[in-house]
Structure 1
Amino acid sequence: MASKLAEIGQRLHAYRIGAGLSANDVADRLSVSRATVYRLESHGIDRIGLLERVASLLGVSLETLLGVGVEYIASAVTYFERLRQLESGCARIFVAFAPVFSLLTSAEYDEALRASLMEQCTGEIAGRPGPQIVGELMDILMRRKAAFQQAAPNVTVVLSAADIMQYARFGMAAADSSQTDQRAKRSVAARELEVLARHIAHPPIGIQIGILFEPLPSTGFALIRRDGRQVVVTSPFRLAPPLNIQRGIAMISEAPEAVKLYSRLASDLWSGATTGADARDFVLSQAHRA
């Protein structure tokens, strides 16, 4: 019971920051103290009336806060905070994403990501300043990466060969970037692909990486095993080209049918992936062309 309540508190925190609300904002609107808000986020909410008020304030369903059924997420900030929470203390992760695995990227990539998102998100996103959202998101990503490196769960990663080729060709450059900017971003891409090649050749303990030469699903997904449960996460939000933190609906589900189908898909993708020296050589060949 305590763990379920704690998960409600985690969802409250994720949806609060995704809505751009401070603890003071929530406290004022609920007529409670800021300390009470932090306690609710740490220990959860066990009163249905208060749950309903919080759900209404955050613009989500009661079922979403309770974790009943599918959790739908329209905010990249909320999504990556929920992902960070789910990964915390997990035993195993399967990830199918684009040209890089964001939890193993270099500091140079992370800074390039921040700069590119700032260039892309100069206006508003869901009524909030884009640069503010980018700052919040990058803070979450850095905490997520630090926690991952400390916990070191077993991870299987399938990356897209087509996306790697595209990344090598353009880096994170926008279509209207100057030639100088494009060259600089291709150089960053080349160095990051060399980092990826080293991870493939000498993977950190518990990590295996494969390259798929067939098309990956258009929406990235992850399977996360924790506390004897499996969770399916699907997301249109991307931290690699083409970047997207602006639009889309991510989903989180523990439904047995979803877990079964995505587990089968994960197995099929991994069985078709190229690994070892062949995968490393392909990535290095693209790095040299960047």
Structure 2
Amino acid sequence: MTASTDIVFAEIGARLRAHRLGRSLTPEALADRLGISRAALYRAEKGEITKIEMLTAIANELNVSLPTLLGVGIEYVPNAISFFERMRQIEEDCEQIVGLFSPISYLVTTSDYDRVLQEVLYESVPGDTHDDVEGIMSILLERKRKYNLKRPLLASIISDADLARFMRDGLEGRTGLPADLVAHRRRLAVEEVRHIVDMLRDPEIGVQIGVAREPIPSTSFQIVRKGGKATLTVSPFRLGHSPNIRIGVGFITSAPEAIDLHEQIALRLWDSSLKGSEAADHVEALIRQYGNA
């Protein structure tokens, strides 16, 4: 068996784990449903799959298609836990990340943002789905930890309109919050934007930020490169203000056409974006305009 084949099977195991998490199944519960041992499922999630029949049974139990588990064509991901887990897996040991997320790539947000984000996500979902929030936050924090440990190159494109909206509305999981809490959340949003200004004026090694002044796509996407391979993730899920972790279908693909089209969007926005001190001056003007309303 060649090394490239090993990598493919490892990726199948990673997808299996992500979709299991998305179905809120423990390894023991899924193994029991499949009539196999916990050890056998563990090996499958490590990519040690010897029979297509087992993979077919797993796909049926997780309610995903066999091509999705195999990574053939487009991988559709129907819930936020599975999607963010797949992002975490794809980013692991990567060399470069190019992202378009609002208000900025989660990977370079502050620890204060993490604390308020968990509160905001709790607000955004019914009480009986709080386990989803805990699962998502665990995955997000692990993503950030691995990013800070490995420090791949990161290019993040942000929208000045999104920053203005972020400061004007603050971090809210739902409407109707008490006025004092809304004011507090708006102050936290402004502090996060000030952190962006700091990164623009004194860039961290390997981090590039562009501030776009033209309209940007409504869906977030990220292109991750590792070992000559590029992977595109397109997300319907949203963190921060008015988050959505409940409804949507994300997709993941390495199809050259999809990569090329999204890379063209990223390059166009990057070329026309403000950068460095010019971008910092522009964002500070936005803070003066929207941060004290």
Q: Normalization by structure 1: what TM-score? A: 0.95
Q: Given the alignment, which residue of 2, 9, 33 partners 1:5?
A: 9
For 1:249, the equivalent position in structure 2 comes to 249
Q: Are residue 38 (structure 1) and residue 42 (structure 2) matched?
A: yes
Selected match of 1:90 from 85, 91, 94: 94
- Counterpart Cα distance in 2 of 1:66 and 1:44: 13
Unaligned runs of 5+ in 1: 124-128
Query: Separation in 2 of the partners of 1:119 and 1:221?
Result: 25
**In 1, Cα distance between the equivalents of 2:234 and 2:68?**
16
Letter in 1 for 2:23: A
| Residue number in structure 1 paired with 2:191 | 191
The match for 1:78 is 82
RMSD: 1.2
**Matched residue, 2:201:** 201
Distance 1:268 1:177 in 2: 39
CA deviation vs aligned residue, 1:184-226 (integer Å, no higher than 9, x gap): 0011111111111111111211110011011110101111111
Q: What is the match of residue 149 of structure 1?
A: 148
Paired residues for 1:20-35 under 5 Å: 20-35=24-39
Q: Which runs of 4+ in 1 moved over 4 A?
A: none
Q: Deviations over 1:119-141 (max 9, x none)?
A: 11124xxxxx3210000000000
Note the alpha carbon deviations across 1:170-189, whole angstroms, 9 max, x for none.
11133312211111001111
Task: Give the Cα separation in 2 of the matches to 1:107 and 1:169.
Answer: 21
Q: State the match for 2:163 in structure 1.
A: 164
1:33 Cα deviation from its structure 2 partner? 1.5
How far apart are the structure 1 equivalents of 2:269 and 2:253?
Answer: 20
Would the aligned equivalents of 2:104 and 2:156 in 1 still touch at CA under 8 Å?
A: no
Aligned counterparts of 2:210 and 2:48: Cα–Cα separation in 1: 39
Query: What's the CA shift string for 1:101-131, capped at 9, x where partnerless?
Result: 20011111111110011011124xxxxx321
Counterpart CA distance in 2 for 1:23 and 1:287 is 47
**1:274 Cα deviation (Å)?**
0.7
Which residue in the other structure is 2:105 paired with? 101
For 2:129 and 2:227, locate their aligned partners in 1 and report how far apart those are by CA, in whole Å: 36
* TM-score normalized with structure 2 length: 0.94
Alignment: residue pair count: 285
1:47 is aligned to 2:46: no
Distance in 2 (CA, whole Å) between partners of 1:29 and 1:175 is 41
